[in-house]
Homo-oligomer: A and B are copies of this chain.
């Protein structure tokens, strides 16, 4: 049988509680499709930082590299400043492994009541394609006049032709592949003077390569409003690192799926492993109680299956999630209005597979 070697990083907080459920489902779906998953566990987290001063060992990235994919839980914990935990683990993985696509579905699921009215499952179903390696997330910049009244901080975003073009091409290819021939670009070229007009310029250039795909673009301010007012109009939305970050949280906010949304940090060329992680964080408020919703982690594993070429298995897991959510007698964690534990919901999904 085909064996896949996975690096498993539960990270902090509820990451440790939801990860076992994803592995449970992977084992079941693997058995069903005749493939095997090997797991190598890495306990790198804010705990690691507290005891060693780094989020991961010096050779951390090298140790991850020889895996078919990385499954990540959640990174971040009170007491460790976010920019330390993230720039010490999550962001280096995204960048060193050239995971330049951050892919997130926005989908209205059965059994989930969204905050928006008059929408039913099927109405909202699109993808946010976020640039994941450059742009506004940048360590370029610094501070002058520290501690004085004239103190000033500069923060520089970098947009390269290579980085911009490849994320846009990915979005167009995805649209074509999904048979959803419409791509929306998130911009802000009316306010942000250099980078966003450039973004628009490249969007027009890449769009010209895909004449069968229709396009439009919205400034990020009105685009966010449209995510709420008319989410059904989107198919594929392509955005810079920051704008994509915003849109891929806002989208699941609109569909009521923020606690269950998955994401893929993808290196499409497969030169490096890709990382799959839920959109939710480590949730210090509920961590340790065994009541976190494991669907985001399980759905992330489904996206990983897709990426590994096991599309049927991936669709099977998503189908199982949907069936369990739609079944009002199935276990539900407190965020879904029930009393079930993480494990009970995980087992129910494993059974449904």
A residues with CB within 8 A of B: 76, 81-83, 85-87, 91, 115-117, 136-143, 145, 148-162, 188-198, 219-222, 224-229, 241-242, 245-246, 248-250, 252-254, 256, 258
**B246 and A194: CB pair below 8 A?**
no
Contacts of A161 in B (CB 8 A): 145, 148-152
* Cβ B242 vs Cβ A225 within 8 A: no
- How many Å lie between the Cα of A197 and that of B221 in the bound state? 23
22 contacts between A and B (CB under 8 A): A81-B197, A83-B189, A83-B193, A86-B191, A87-B193, A91-B191, A116-B116, A138-B192, A139-B193, A149-B161, A149-B162, A154-B156, A155-B192, A155-B196, A191-B241, A221-B249, A224-B246, A225-B252, A228-B228, A229-B253, A229-B258, A246-B246
Determine the chain B residues whose CB is within 8 A of the CB of A249 once the complex forms.
221-222, 224-225
A14 to chain B, nearest CB (A): 15
- In the bound complex, CA of A85 to CA of B82 (Å): 38
Quick check: B156 and A156 within 8 Å, CB to CB?
A: yes
Q: Which of A82, A86, A225 has most chain B Cβ within 10 Å? A: A225
Whether A250 contacts B229 in the complex (CB less than 8 A), given A152-B159, A245-B191, comes out as no
Chain B residues near A195: list those with CB within 8 A.
141, 153-155
Q: How far is the CA of A142 from the CA of B256 in the complex (A)?
A: 40
- Chain B: CB-nearest residue to A251: B225
Minimum Cβ distance to chain B for residue A247 (Å): 8
Minimal Cβ-Cβ distance residue in B for A281 = B222
With A115-B117, A221-B248 already in contact, 10 other A-B pairs whose C-beta atoms are closer than 8 Å: A86-B191, A116-B228, A117-B117, A138-B192, A140-B154, A141-B194, A153-B194, A220-B242, A226-B253, A229-B256
In the complex, what distance in Å separates the CA atom of A151 from the CA atom of B198? 10
- Complex interface: chain B residues within 8 A of A140 (CB): 154
Assess the A76–B190 pair: CB atoms within 8 A.
yes
